[in-house]
């Protein structure tokens, strides 16, 4: 597992899986988006603060992301 501080209150955690790396974006202490091997980007459907939305959009850099329930993203880190 690798932890990378991306900015104020924004962190990326990378897990090395047998299928490839999985990146999870945390805004404050909440996982809100991820890059999954063989699936691509996902982002939460849940509406958080404008700042968290900004964190997600900056991390995605315009990439297409599927919206999924927040529980799906939380399951990735449990």
pLDDT tens per residue across all 78 residues of the chain: 999 999 999 999 999 988 889 999 999 999 999 999 989 999 999 999 999 999 999 999 999 999 999 999 999 998
DSSP letter, residue 41: E
**Which run of H or E residues covers position 75?**
helix 70-76
Q: What is the pTM of this model?
A: 0.94
Domain residue limits, the chain: 2-71
């Amino acid at each position: 597992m690798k932890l990378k501080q991306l900015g104020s209150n924004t962190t990326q955690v990378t897990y090395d899986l047998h299928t490839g790396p999985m990146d999870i974006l945390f805004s404050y202490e909440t996982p809100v988006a991820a890059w999954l091997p063989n699936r691509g980007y996902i982002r939460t459907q849940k509406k958080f603060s404008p700042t968290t939305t900004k964190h997600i959009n900056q991390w995605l850099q315009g990439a297409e992301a599927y919206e999924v329930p927040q529980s799906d993203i939380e399951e990735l880190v449990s």
